[in-house]
Structure 1
Amino acid sequence: MEHIEVRPAHPDEWGQVGGLRWDSLVEFAGEPDDPREEFAARFASWAAAHGDHECFVAVRGAEVIGMTWLAVIPRVPSARRFERASGDVQCAYVVPGDRDGGVGGRLLDAILARAATLELERVTVHSSPRAIPFYRRHGFTADDDRLLHAVISR
């Protein structure tokens, strides 16, 4: 088995990452609006312009086989800590042939390590029901009494 490296994405990988994002939509939610190549190019431009989102990738050779994103969200200052931020895990995806071998866990561990480096107060995730046990194994808990959300649009 070839070595899989987990690390921050390089700018020259944004197109591959965009392709994975397109693949995830096709796999889980239906038909995309744009062809894969067009979306991947648009996505690469978006990623380059959004430094508040950090991408970590799993790479085998030159192929990106998994990704996950950490969106860093500034928070209102408090009297205890003026500079505050939280994180949100977004767009976690591993290609089907490389699932269940620890790649997703390594990606999530990298995101959580980065969150600790940034001294984020918390990291949230909007999970599919299937992935809840995965996130729980990595330290996520649910607090149904305090975590509320309103869906504005889809």
Structure 2
Amino acid sequence: MDDTEIRPVHPGELAAVAELRWRWVQELYGTPDAAPDEFVPRFVAWARENEPSHRCMVLLRGEEVIGMAWLATAPRVPHPRAFERASGDVQCVYVVPDARDRGLGGALIEAVLAWARELGLERVTVHSSDRAVGAYSRHGFEASPRLLQWEAGGSRAE
């Protein structure tokens, strides 16, 4: 891990982050519908437009972006004891295959959680792959019986 660095993304690195996102989808599901030359500029525009609510940390090996982690933040409804409230969601934590299993994903998770602490977020959630549940658990994430989710297109029990 000595030759790596984790820090907030620089604007000029957003195309590399977009390429990681494209590569990740290809790795999991096969070739995406959108080619990289279509996806990358749209992703960069999206990242710039959503920067206030979606912050990205990058993992670099030298000058190369080899990983990313996003922290999406949202304000929460005020209450009398805490008017300024916000929560976060860890999204899109990815490390290129040749750099996996060396603790780099965990380092990205910890960097995002440090950011969440700095922002004073009340809670941070994550929707994890089966492979990454252990990594999130090691960094303090726990299953919650009160956290429910609804998914569009999901089936309902009759």
Q: Which amino acid aligns with 1:9?
A: V
Displacement of 1:89: 0.4
For the pair 1:77 / 2:66, whether they are aligned, the reply is no
Displacement of 1:29: 2.5
- CA distance in 2 between counterparts of 1:83 and 1:123 reads 16
SS of the residue 1:24 aligns to: helix
- CA distance in 1 between counterparts of 2:86 and 2:46 reads 22
Alignment match, 1:43: 43
What is the RMSD computed on CA atoms of the aligned residues? 1.4
- CA distance in 2 between counterparts of 1:19 and 1:73 reads 26
Displacement of 1:2: 6.4
Q: Which amino acid aligns with 2:34?
A: D
Q: Which amino acid aligns with 1:151?
A: E
Which consecutive segments of 4 or more residues in structure 1 shift more than 4 A?
Answer: none
- Aligned pair count reads 153
SS of the residue 2:82 aligns to: coil
- CA distance in 1 between counterparts of 2:62 and 2:41 reads 21
Percent identity over the alignment is 55
Q: Is the 8 A contact 1:4 1:60 kept in 2?
A: yes
Paired residues for 1:122-133 under 5 Å: 122-133=123-134
Alignment match, 2:116: 115
Paired residues for 1:18-33 under 5 Å: 18-33=18-33
Displacement of 1:37: 2.7
Deviations 1:3-45 (A, max 9, x none): 1110000000000000000011111133312111321121111
- CA distance in 2 between counterparts of 1:32 and 1:153 reads 20
Alignment match, 1:136: 137
SS of the residue 1:78 aligns to: coil
- CA distance in 1 between counterparts of 2:153 and 2:66 reads 30
Alignment match, 1:5: 5
